[in-house]
Amino acid sequence: MGPVMVNVATLVFDNLFFHYVSTIGDSAARIIRKILMQHTGPILGFHLVSETHKLSQSDVDQCIILVSNHGFQKLTLDVANDELYTLPDSLFSCATLTHLKLSRCIVKFPDGTQFRNLVSL
């Protein structure tokens, strides 16, 4: 990945991204992980949206963990998997989260869940 992606504040992995990845024959999960691991600045928004490409539960979990290390505020998840995606408990302790947009997800709020700054769910 070029140096352009290492400090972009909003990362969008959508159908266009997944289509491109399929044309080059690479792994979308690997590319996303690489971008997130090399990212140096804050990630204010992380949007993972695919109508056709599937990502495993563990791949999405890794993305959320990597993004949460950058103090993200906005999260959009809508991945076309055969099974609904179950949000990891670690997401519910993200104090910086202000906007959460979910599709095809299972939400099980752990005891004591507080989204102090959440404006939109």
55-68 pLDDT, tens per residue?
Answer: 889 999 999 999 98
Average confidence score pLDDT of the chain: 86
The structure's pTM equals: 0.85
Pick out the chain residues at pLDDT < 50.
1-4
Domain map of the chain by residue range?
3-106
Distance CA 80, CA 85 (A): 9
Alpha-carbon dihedral 94, 67, 102, 19, rounded to 10 degrees? 180
pLDDT the model gives residue 98: 92
pLDDT the model gives residue 115: 74
